[in-house]
Structure 1
Amino acid sequence: MIDKNEVEYGRRAFLRIGGGVGLTVGGMLLFGVSLSATAAPVLGKGNSLVDSSDLSDTRGDFIPNAFVRIARDGRICLVMPKVEMGQGVYTSIPMLIAEELEVSLDNVEIEISAPVAALYTDPLLSAQITGGSNSMRYAWEPLRRAGAAARVLLIQAAASQWSVPPESCHAENARVIHGPTGRTLEYRQLVERATRLPIPQDLAKTVTLKDPRQFRLIGRPVKRLDSPEKVNGSAVFGIDVRIPGMLYAVSITSPVAGGKIKAVDDRFAREIPGVRQVVTLEHTVAVVGDHTWAAKRGLDAMVIEWDDGPNASLDTRILQQDLRTAVLKSGVVSRQAGDVEEAFAKHTRHYEAEYTQPFLAHAPMEPLNCTVHVRPDGCDIWTGTQVPVWAVDAGVKYTGLPRERIVLHNRLLGGGFGRRSEVDIVIQALQIGKQVNAPLKLTWMREEDIRQCTFRPMYHDRIAASLDEHGWPVGWRHTVAGSSVLARFQPKNFQGGLDRDAVAVASDLPYAIPNQRIEYVRQEPRGIVTGFWRGVGPVRGTFVVESFIDELAVQAKTDPVAYRRALLSPAPRALHVLDVVAREAGWEKPLDAGAGRGIAVMHAFGSFLSAVVDADVCNGEVHVRRVVIAVDCGHVVNPDTVDAQIRGGAIFAITAALYGGITIDRGRVVQGNFNDYRIMRIHETPRIEVHMVQSNESPGGIGEAGCAVLAPALANAIFSATGKRLRHLSVGSQLADGNFA
C-alpha cells in the first residue's frame, strides 16, 4: 500500500490503488494508477503537445500497471517514469512499451509520471531521478514487461469473450486476433472486460517477452515524438509557463558563498515602471514586477551592501593547493589487487604524473526557473526538474503545508546535465513566493545561473606505474582527491568515506595490470557547493586513465592503439570498439603537417566507446577537425537517439575541455555568461562520425558516455601535434599559459 504522503491529491489528481492491480516487474512493484487531470504536459496522437487536464475522467479505464492506461474510447496513454531534457526518452521508453503492447507510436499519448516514489523509484539510483545515463538501463526489461502484461490481459479478455483458449489468439496493431477464425476485437472494445479480470500474482514472472528477432520498433530509427512541438514552438518548458495574474521575479544571491546581506537601498528600484515589490531574504534580494524586464531593471537599480563572510579571500589557487596537499595523503582504498608495493620494489622503472581538472558549470540553454503559487490552502509548483519527489519535498518543507496540498506540474527541461537534479531554484521560488500574493515566476539571469551553479568538482589525481623492461605496466598506484557529490546528494550511498562516483573508471580498469591500488581522498572546496555534471566520475576518470595510458605508450615507444590493444584482453567489448574506431578513422593514415591524432577508450554506464580525434594547434588555438566514435551500448533501442546523444556529448565535452573552467577570485565566480564561459560555435564544430557496434547485451547508458571519451582523445591529439602533454583541463587556459608537462 502506498503512503498517502507520497501521492498527489486534490482537484488535479488521484491515485486509485485497487485490489489485484499490482504487478511485480523486474523486482519492482508496479501499482495500477489512475491519474485524473494531472496537468502534466503529454504528447497526444498526431504528435501534438496537449495537457492531461484535458483528458476525460479515467474511471473505468484499463490500468494494468503504473505505465499503461487504455481508455474506453481507445486512447492509449503511456506514463513516463523519466523526464525529457533532450535525451529522447519520450520516444525510446514508449518504444519499449509499445513493442510489447503491440501498438503503433502514432496511437499513443505520453504523460509525465506523478512524483510518487513508491511507483517510479529507479532502483539503481534509489530515488525517482532522471540521470546517471540510466533511463534505458532502468526501463529495458521492466517497461517491456509492463507492455507485455497489458497485452496478455487484453488477449485473455478477448479469449473470454469468444470462449476460446488464449493460446489461439494474438495481439497486433492495438487489437486481438483469433487465429483460427480471423475474428478481431480492438483494444477499446476490451477495456471493460479487461478491467474485471483477476491479475495473477506471478504474471510478471510468467509473461513472455518477444524474441529480439521479432522486434518491429526496437532497434529501428524512429523520429523523436517531441520534435515537432520543439520546432514549431508549442512545446512547454518551465520558462514558458504562464498563469493568469502571474508576477515575475529576478533575484541575486550573495556572490560569495556564505555571504549575507548587510544593507539594501531599494528606493531607485521601486521607481522603475512595473516593479511591484522587493523581497529580502538572508542571502538573497529579489525584485518582483509585472514582467521579467521590469524585475531585471529593478534589480539592476538596487544598491546592495554585502557581508562577504568567511570566504571573502578565497581564490582558485587556494583551492588547488588544498587538493595538492590532499592527494599526498593516504586515502580510502577503493580497489586493491595483487601486491603493489612488491611490484614497485621489484621493477625500478617508474613513471608518474599528476592531473588536475577545474570546476565546471552546466550552463543549460534554458536558465533555471520556477513558477509557484503559494496559498494558505495549497501550493502549485511549475518547473522542469530531474527529481520531482524532491521538488515536492521542498514544497512541504518551505510552505509548511501537508504533502497532499503540494502539486507539481513538471515540464520539459531545456537541458539538465545534472543541474536540474538540484532543487535550489524551487526553494528560492517558494521563499519569495510566500511573500507575494499572486502566482510568481522566478528566473535566474544567465549570470546568476552560472555563478550560483552547483559546480562539477575540481579534482587532483596522482598516478604512478611500475614498468617492466619493455614498458608494460605491472604495478599501478592512483590517488584521487576531490569533493564528494554523493556525500551531500545521497549520503546513504557514501559509505566508509568512499565516493564510488569519484573513483569511477579509475577503480575498474579495463587493462590487464596485475597489481593495483586506487585510493580516494575527500577534499571539499571551501564554501563551494559541488554537484553532478554530465558524467562526473567517468568523465574525470577517463581523462586521467586514458591520458596516462597514452603517456605509458610513449615511454614504451609503442603506438598508442597497439599499446592499448595488448592490454585490453580482460575487456573484449572495449577491445572491439578500439579496433572499430581505429579502422574507421584510418589510424595509420598520415596527417597534414602540424596536425595530431589521439585516441581514448571508455567503459562506464554499461557502455563501451572509443574515440579518435584529429586536431591541430595554431597560435595557441586548438582546431578540432574530425571526431570518429565507435560505440557498443548493448542493444540499441533507437539508433537515432544514440547517434544524437553521442554527437551532443562530443560537442559538450570538447567545449568543456577547450573553453570550460570556472575560476574564483576574492570569493567570487569570475565567469558569468557565454562571452567568458564559451560554448563551441557552429563553425568550430568538427566533423563527427558515429559507428554503432551491434550487440545483444542489455542496453547501457549513452547520455554521458560520449562526453567521457572525448577529452583524453583530444589531449592525446594535441600531444601528437605538438609534443606537449596537457595534464590540466581546461586546455585553452593551459595553452595560453604555456603550462605544458
Structure 2
Amino acid sequence: MGKGAKIARRTFLLGTATVAGGFAVGWYSLEQPYAFPLADELPRAITPLTAYVLVDARGVTLITPRAEMGQGATSVQAALLAEELDVAWDEIRTDPGPPAPAYYNAAIVAEGMPFAATDDGWQAGVARGFGKTVSKLMGLQITGGSSTVPDAYDRLRQAGATARAMLVAAAANRLGVAEDQLTTRAGAVVAPDGTALPYTELAPYARRVPRPRNVALKDPADWRLLGKPMQRLDIVAKSTGTARYGIDEWAKGMLHATVRTNPRRGGELNGFDASTAEAMRGVVKVVPLPGGAGVIADNTWRAMQAAQAIEFDWGPAAHPATTQALFDSIAGAFTDDAQDSRLKDDGDVEQALAQGADITAEYRVPFLAHAPLEPMTAFAWLTDRGLEIRAGTQIPRFAIDTAAELTGLPKDRIVLSALPMGGSFGRRLEDDFIAQAVLLARVVPGRPVKMTWTREEDMTHDFPRPAAIARGQGRVEGGRVAALDLSIAAPSVSASQMGRLGLNPLGADTAIVNGAWDQPLAIPHYRVTGYRAPETVPVSSWRSVGASGNAFFHECLLDELIHAAGADPLEERLRQCTHAPSRAVLEAVGEMSNWGSPLPEGAARGLAFCLSFGVPCAEVVEVRQTPRGLRIARAFAAADVGRVLDPVNIENQMHGGVIWGLGHAIGAALTYADGRPEQENFDTYPAMRITECPEIMVRALETGDTVRGIGEPTVPPAAPALANAIFAATGQRIRQMPLDREVRFA
C-alpha cells in the first residue's frame, strides 16, 4: 500500500486536499475523459485536472486503482507513474482511490474479443478498439485477465509525464527560466544553477498551468525504475506481519459476524432453529439471510460457534447432485444444437480423418476451487450519513451497485475502500460476500460490522472453475502431425459470472476454447470446436480461466500425436509454429532444460506450450521415479511479455503460476455428493507443499511488440508438461486430472 495512509473515505481525501496548493493529475486514452473522481467535492485548494497523481504539502500520492491481490499490482502501477514523474521510490505513497468510471480497464474487454492474440489484421484491430470503447462507456473498473500492465502501461506513464510537465512549467514561470533548461529529480524541479524546487512547493503554481497534451515519454534507455529490480512497496509490511487485509479491519464499537448458507448451491432454506445460538454468550443477533442466516456477536469466534449451533433444514441443490451426474450433463453437450464456436477450422479435417484417426482420446478436468488463504470478508457500516464498505474486491463499482440495491441509498452516499487481499485467483470478482455484510449492517444501524466466512463456508460457497470434457482425434503422416480435431464442452463462465453482475454477454464464450483454438501452429488440418454445456454449478473465472484446462487437452493430444508420428516434441512444435515470439520461448525452454540430453535412469522430461492472454509460454517438467513415487524434480518456464517492467516481480509471478498449475494438477479437485462440495478445507483440497515443489527456473523474453501481463500465462502449460513427462517416464497416458488418481507422487 506504500508509505502513506490509504485514502479510505472521501472525507479523508478531502482532508489531504485542503492543504493549500494541492493538485491532482492523470491521463485518459480516449478523447472525452471522465471527470476527476470527487471533482464536485474538492475545495478550490485542489484542482481536478485528471485522476492519478495527487501532490500536496505532504508529498506525492499515486492513485493505483487496480486491485492488489498479491500480484504486485500496486507496485507496478506506482512505478509506471513514478518513472515519468521522477519521484523517489522510497518516498512514494499509494492509494487505490475511490471507485470511479475514470478508472475503467480498457484492456479487459478488448482482449476478450474472438481474435487470436497473433491476429493483427484490421478486423481484429477494430474489434479491440470497440472493446476499449465498451469498457470506457460502461466504466468497467475491473482487475483480472492479466490486464493490469497492458491497460496501465501507456496510461499511467502519460499521467506521470503530464504531471511532471505541469510542474516544470510552473517552475519555469516562477524562476523565469526556459522549460528546456530545467530537469527533475527525486520529487523536485532542478534549475541550471542547482536550485531545487520541491513538487510540494510548486503545487500552488502548477494548478494554474494548462494541462499539456501529447507529452513526450522517456526513452526506455533512460528509465531509472522500470526494467530494473524493484523492492515491492508492500514487502516490508508483509515480511513483518504488519500488512493489513480486509480480515484485519477494525473500528471502534465494531461487531463481528459470520454466515451459514445452504451448501447446496441454489437450494432453498426450508427453515432454521436458532434458539441455542441466540442464547450463547456474546451473540447480538441472528439474522435471516437468503439461503441461510448470519450471526452478529462481540467477536468472530463467538459468532462462528453460534452459527454452528443453528439447526438448518436445507433444501436440495438446483443442479445435479453428484460429480458423475455433473459430468454426464457436460458430456451431453456434444451436439450440433449445443455448438458454441468453431474459431479454428483450417484445411479439411473431415477428409483428413476419413481413413481413420491415429489417436482418439477423451480428456477431463474437474471443478476447482479458488481457495485463497484469506477467506471472504467485508466490513460494512450503515449510518444516517450513508454506507461505508471496506473490502478486498476486484469489482468495486459493481459492489457499490449491489449495496445501493440492498439499502435503497443513492450511490453517492456509498463509499467503498478497496483493500489488499490475501489471495483471490478470481474469487473476488464476485460481490456475494459484500452483499451479506451490507445486509447484516442494516440490522444494527450505527454499528460497524465485520463479516468473516469460515474456511468451510469459503470452500462450499465458491464459484469454481468449471469442469470440462474434451474429445480429440488426429492423424499423422510422414513423421509429422497432419490433422488435429479437438472438441471441448464446458459450462459458460461468461454467462454464469456476468449474469450475476447483471450483464448479458452476447455471442460465443471464447473461454470455453481459449488456450486451444488460438495456438500459433500450422497443422494442415486443424479444428477446435466449443460446446456450451448446461449451467449447473454456478462457475466463475479461475486463474487463467479456460486456458487452465484447455492447454491440458490441446497439449496432451498434440503430444500423443507427435509420439505417434515418431517425432521429437520440441522439434515438431517448432516446425509447426508460425509465431516468432512463440518460437523464441520454445527455443529458450529447450535450451534451459537441455532438452534432448541424456537423463539418469528413471528420469524423463515433458514439454507443453500455450499462448494465453497474449503471452506465449513454454514449459518443461522433469520427473524422476523414486521408491516413494514419482518426484517432480525440476521445472523450466519461458514466456514473452513484450517488456519486463520489474524482473523480480516477473520471476515471482512465473514461479507462482508454475506452482499453482502443478499443485492443482497433482491432487486438487472439487467433487460433489448430495448436491454439495465434498472438500471443505485444505486437508481434502491440497495445495502444493514445499516438500513437493521442484526447483524452478524461469526466463522472461522481450521479443514481442505488445506489453503483456504475467499473472496467469505460466499456469496453463504446467499440467500438460507434467502429464507428458509422466508418459515419457512410465509409458502411461493420463487423460484426466487430478493426476494422483492414477500416479503416486513422492
Q: What are the equivalent positions in structure 2 for 1:648-687 lying under 5 Å apart? A: 648-687=656-695
| Distance in 2 separating the partners of 1:333 and 1:280 | 43
Conserved 8 A contact 1:340-1:477: no
What is aligned with 1:638? 646
User: Residue 163 of structure 1: CA displacement?
Assistant: 2.9
User: Residue 328 of structure 1: CA displacement?
Assistant: 4.4
How far does the alpha carbon of each residue in 1:1-22 deviate from its partner, in whole angstroms, 9 at most, with x for none? xxxxxx9996455699xxx988
Distance 1:495 1:380, change over 3 A: closer
SS in structure 2 of the partner of residue 630 of structure 1: strand
Distance 1:136 1:652, change over 3 A: same
Conserved 8 A contact 2:26-2:53: no
Distance 1:671 1:8, change over 3 A: closer
Conserved 8 A contact 2:172-2:179: yes
> Structure 1: where are the runs of 5+ without partners?
1-6, 39-56
1:322 is the counterpart of 2:329 = yes
1:186 is the counterpart of 2:186 = no
How far does the alpha carbon of each residue in 1:92-116 deviate from its partner, in whole angstroms, 9 at most, with x for none? 1111111111111112210112110
Q: What are the equivalent positions in structure 2 for 1:167-246 lying under 5 Å apart? A: 167-179=180-192, 181-200=193-212, 203=213, 206-246=214-254
| Distance in 2 separating the partners of 1:388 and 1:359 | 27
Conserved 8 A contact 1:70-1:191: yes
1:134 is the counterpart of 2:147 = yes
Choose 156-165 or 443-452, whichever is displaced more. 156-165
SS in structure 2 of the partner of residue 678 of structure 1: coil
Q: 1:498 aligns with which of 490, 496, 508?
A: 508
Distance 1:162 1:281, change over 3 A: closer
Conserved 8 A contact 1:97-1:146: yes
What is aligned with 2:115? none
Q: TM-score, normalised by structure 1?
A: 0.89
User: Residue 87 of structure 1: CA displacement?
Assistant: 0.4
SS in structure 2 of the partner of residue 472 of structure 1: strand
User: Residue 191 of structure 1: CA displacement?
Assistant: 1.2
* Letter of the structure 2 residue corresponding to residue 427 of structure 1: A
SS in structure 1 of the partner of residue 546 of structure 2: helix
| Distance in 2 separating the partners of 1:161 and 1:34 | 29
How far does the alpha carbon of each residue in 1:41-71 deviate from its partner, in whole angstroms, 9 at most, with x for none? xxxxxxxxxxxxxxxx985346542111111
| Distance in 2 separating the partners of 1:543 and 1:522 | 19
Conserved 8 A contact 2:622-2:635: yes
Q: TM-score, normalised by structure 2?
A: 0.88
User: Residue 184 of structure 1: CA displacement?
Assistant: 3.7
Q: 1:444 aligns with which of 453, 478, 502?
A: 453
Distance 1:162 1:584, change over 3 A: same
SS in structure 2 of the partner of residue 457 of structure 1: coil
SS in structure 1 of the partner of residue 572 of structure 2: helix
Length, aligned pairs only: 700
Conserved 8 A contact 1:611-1:629: yes
Q: 1:580 aligns with which of 588, 610, 614?
A: 588
How far does the alpha carbon of each residue in 1:541-563 deviate from its partner, in whole angstroms, 9 at most, with x for none? 22211111111110111121111
Distance 1:696 1:70, change over 3 A: farther
Q: 1:370 aligns with which of 367, 375, 378?
A: 378
| Distance in 1 separating the partners of 2:199 and 2:14 | 24
1:487 is the counterpart of 2:495 = yes
| Distance in 1 separating the partners of 2:273 and 2:477 | 70
Conserved 8 A contact 2:269-2:314: yes
User: Residue 608 of structure 1: CA displacement?
Assistant: 1.9
What is aligned with 1:67? 52
Q: What are the equivalent positions in structure 2 for 1:229-628 lying under 5 Å apart? A: 229-308=237-316, 310-311=318-319, 314-329=321-336, 331-341=339-349, 343-344=351-352, 348-437=356-445, 438-473=447-482, 475-490=483-498, 497-526=507-536, 528-568=537-577, 570-616=578-624, 621-628=629-636
User: Residue 158 of structure 1: CA displacement?
Assistant: 1.7
What is aligned with 1:148? 161
| Distance in 2 separating the partners of 1:430 and 1:170 | 50
Distance 1:391 1:493, change over 3 A: closer
Choose 487-496 or 221-230, whichever is displaced more. 487-496
Distance 1:563 1:524, change over 3 A: same
Q: 1:26 aligns with which of 24, 29, 46?
A: 29
Conserved 8 A contact 1:655-1:679: yes
Conserved 8 A contact 1:621-1:732: no
SS in structure 2 of the partner of residue 193 of structure 1: helix
Aligned-pair identity in percent equals 33
Conserved 8 A contact 2:24-2:47: no
Superposed CA RMSD: 2.7
User: Residue 136 of structure 1: CA displacement?
Assistant: 0.6
How far does the alpha carbon of each residue in 1:349-371 deviate from its partner, in whole angstroms, 9 at most, with x for none? 54322211110001101011111
| Distance in 2 separating the partners of 1:664 and 1:525 | 15
Conserved 8 A contact 1:543-1:712: yes
Conserved 8 A contact 1:63-1:69: no
How far does the alpha carbon of each residue in 1:673-709 deviate from its partner, in whole angstroms, 9 at most, with x for none? 0110011111111111112224363321100112122
1:78 is the counterpart of 2:62 = yes
| Distance in 2 separating the partners of 1:298 and 1:31 | 47
Distance 1:64 1:378, change over 3 A: closer
1:697 is the counterpart of 2:682 = no
| Distance in 2 separating the partners of 1:518 and 1:535 | 19
Q: 1:113 aligns with which of 97, 102, 117?
A: 97
User: Residue 576 of structure 1: CA displacement?
Assistant: 1.0
1:103 is the counterpart of 2:87 = yes
| Distance in 1 separating the partners of 2:43 and 2:738 | 53
| Distance in 1 separating the partners of 2:48 and 2:542 | 37
SS in structure 1 of the partner of residue 54 of structure 2: strand
How far does the alpha carbon of each residue in 1:507-562 deviate from its partner, in whole angstroms, 9 at most, with x for none? 21211123333222111342x11000011122222221111111111011112111
* Letter of the structure 2 residue corresponding to residue 556 of structure 1: A
> Structure 2: where are the runs of 5+ without partners?
1-6, 18-22, 110-134
User: Residue 577 of structure 1: CA displacement?
Assistant: 1.1
